[in-house]
């Protein structure tokens, strides 16, 4: 089944963010509709995204903010948006795909009970999850959300949902969603049918390391 098609390029800028690292991410456990809190590293990643948003001059005057209602996304939104003045509105269409019987399990545990076919991609992996949410349903709600945007927006979401949002916004197919992987702590900017990942601003510690490095030349 092909991805839904939007009528054209998004008329507004979208800044996509994945939640920071969680306890279950660190343990290699799939979360889906389940939740676990951010780790210290995850909180640093959220703060780093906040610095990127501040450098992009994001504010309530310029952007709306929407977040998955799941705890890890809400926590990330609060930490990242603090210096922008934005408060994220919970948006159920941004929630992560339901993982059915695999929620809470590691990939090793899954591979033991449900052996994978050779060269399995990430979308095929999600598609064969017993009792999980259908990929096409996630794509439909993602497309519905994008079509509802009237202003530039910051969207705080999850790994699989973010892949589909980006592919849809760019008018691409499942292969593009398969290939896309945004690191936690970075922001994906979508505008005029193109995508880029803005560089984070240098922190004082970055500048100190650079100065020390230059002194050694």
Active site residues: 19, 96
The residue whose two tokens read 């676990």 is 36
**Fold of the domain spanning 14-215:** Rossmann fold (3.40.50)
Per-domain boundaries in the chain: 14-215
Structure tokens at 128: 């064969």
For the chain of 217 residues, list the mean pLDDT of each consecutive stretch of 10: 83 97 97 96 98 98 98 98 97 98 96 91 94 96 97 98 96 93 96 93 57 41
Output the pLDDT for position 149.
Answer: 97
Q: What are the residues whose beta carbons fall under 8 Å from the beta carbon of 52, sequence distance 6 or more?
A: 186, 187, 198, 200, 201
Output the pLDDT for position 213.
Answer: 41
């Amino acid at each position: 089944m092909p991805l839904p098609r939007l009528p054209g390029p998004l008329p507004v800028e979208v800044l996509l963010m994945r939640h920071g690292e969680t306890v279950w991410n660190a343990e290699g456990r799939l979360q889906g509709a389940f939740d676990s809190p951010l780790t210290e590293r995850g909180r640093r990643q959220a703060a780093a995204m906040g610095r990127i948003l501040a450098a992009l001059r994001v504010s309530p005057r310029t952007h709306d903010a929407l977040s998955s209602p799941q705890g890890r996304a809400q926590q990330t939104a609060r930490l990242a948006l603090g210096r922008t003045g934005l408060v994220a509105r919970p948006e159920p269409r941004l929630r992560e795909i339901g993982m059915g019987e695999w929620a809470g399990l590691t990939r090793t545990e899954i591979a033991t009970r449900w052996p994978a076919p050779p060269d399995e991609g990430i979308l095929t992996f999600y598609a064969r999850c017993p009792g999980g949410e259908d990929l096409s349903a996630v794509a439909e709600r993602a497309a519905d959300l994008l079509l509802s945007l009237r202003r530039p927006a910051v969207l705080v979401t999850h790994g699989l949902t973010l892949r589909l949002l980006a592919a849809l916004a760019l008018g691409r197919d499942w292969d593009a969603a398969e290939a896309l992987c945004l690191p936690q702590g970075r922001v994906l900017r979508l505008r005029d049918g193109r995508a880029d990942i803005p560089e984070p601003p240098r922190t004082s510690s970055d500048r100190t390391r650079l100065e020390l490095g230059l002194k050694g030349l």
